[in-house]
Amino acid sequence: MLMKRTFYLYLIITIAIYSKLNADTTLMNQLRSYNTPNPSYRDSNLSLRERLTNWFPNHFVIYIDNHYYLSTPRVNDIRSDFYIKYNVFSNRNSVIPDTTAYFTEDYIRFRNNETIPANGLSNNDFYDIKNQLAWLTVLFRAVGSPLPDVMLTTYDEVETYVIVNEYNLRQKVILPSFTETMKKLNHFYQGYTSYFQMNEIIKINNRIEFYGTMFLKNHASNDTDFVDVRFHTNRQNQIDLIMFFIYRNI
């Protein structure tokens, strides 16, 4: 009888451990879900400045030369600042990021004077990619607010891999769209402050690759997630593959 009880106890413990190891984490559940709420219409009755102040409570919102500049102290020396255009004819509804970008032979520069090192790009490559990089930088720095849903207005078919490392688990999901992936991540991280930088742009085998680093900080709990994101383009300089490596609660 004792051996029988011991066996059943061992079986119950084994099943519990197996279930824990194979259960989806909270983030993975969000990524696998079908329905994602859209917060983009939140505060639509407010002025643009009031909306930005509500959406980015940890940022300073400063009006400069017909733009709103949002800035907050860095985390791990990574920035979270960006510009929003101000439309005097539609001061309530237009939340349009400024994606102004310039280039030289070895870097791309954004409106906030941030520079991204570049290697092996032609002039055509720079023209093709510079505004995409500026747009992506604002998008990632706005994660945790309604702004990404405002920016993500079209559907794409860019295959996106997401690898989540949490509770000593490493889980992977492949989503058929970057837009879908970002909306799900944005919903999961509502209320966090995102810090992001593009690290490098290089051209290898006639294709452009670039890499970004992101920290997502919950100021209420002081928890921080780390994200390594990688992009790959086809020969026409169109993004055709994206990979996220997410490390929870670092």
**Which stretch of DSSP H or E encloses residue 229?**
strand 223-233
Least confident of 48-57, 84-93, 128-137, 146-155: 84-93
Answer whether residue 15 is part of any domain: no
Answer whether residue 16 is part of any domain: no
Answer whether residue 20 is part of any domain: no
User: Does the pLDDT of residue 22 top 80, yes or no?
Assistant: no
Share of the chain above pLDDT 90, in %: 71
Stretch 72-85: mean pLDDT, rounded? 96
Q: What is the DSSP string of 104-156?
A: -SSEEEETTS-EEEEES--HHHHHHHHHHHHHHHHHHHTTTSSHHHHH--S--
* Mode of pairing for the β-strands spanning 101-103 and 96-97: unpaired
Band of pLDDT at residue 30, cut at 50, 70 and 90? confident
Band of pLDDT at residue 12, cut at 50, 70 and 90? very low
Report the pLDDT value the prediction gives residue 36, as an integer from 0 to 100. 66
| Mean pLDDT estimate for the chain | 87
Highest mean pLDDT among 2-6, 29-33, 122-126: 122-126
Q: Do 218 and 192 contact (CB within 8 A), yes or no?
A: yes
User: Does the pLDDT of residue 134 top 70, yes or no?
Assistant: yes
Answer whether residue 89 is part of any domain: yes
Share of the chain above pLDDT 70, in %: 85
**For residue 68, what are its two tokens?**
């709103």
**Count of domains forming the chain:** 1
Q: What is the CA radius of gyration of the chain?
A: 21
Answer whether residue 120 is part of any domain: yes
Stretch 7-25: mean pLDDT, rounded? 46
Q: Centre a 10 Å sphere on the Cβ of residue 104 and count the other Cβ atoms it contains.
A: 10
Q: How far apart are CA 133 and CA 241, in angstroms?
A: 15
pLDDT 10s digits, 182-236: 999 999 999 999 999 999 999 999 999 999 999 999 999 999 999 999 999 999 9
Report the pLDDT value the prediction gives residue 201, as an integer from 0 to 100. 95
Answer whether residue 79 is part of any domain: yes
Expressed as residue numbers, the domain containing 227 is 25-247
CATH number at residue 29: 3.10.450.50
Q: How far apart are CA 46 and CA 103, in angstroms?
A: 36
Band of pLDDT at residue 72, cut at 50, 70 and 90? very high
For 73, half-sphere exposure in the C-beta direction (CA atoms, 13 angstrom radius) is 2
Answer whether residue 103 is part of any domain: yes
Task: Using the CB atoms, write b or e for 151-175: b if 16+ within 10 Å.
Answer: bbeeebebebebebbbeeeebebeb
Answer whether residue 18 is part of any domain: no
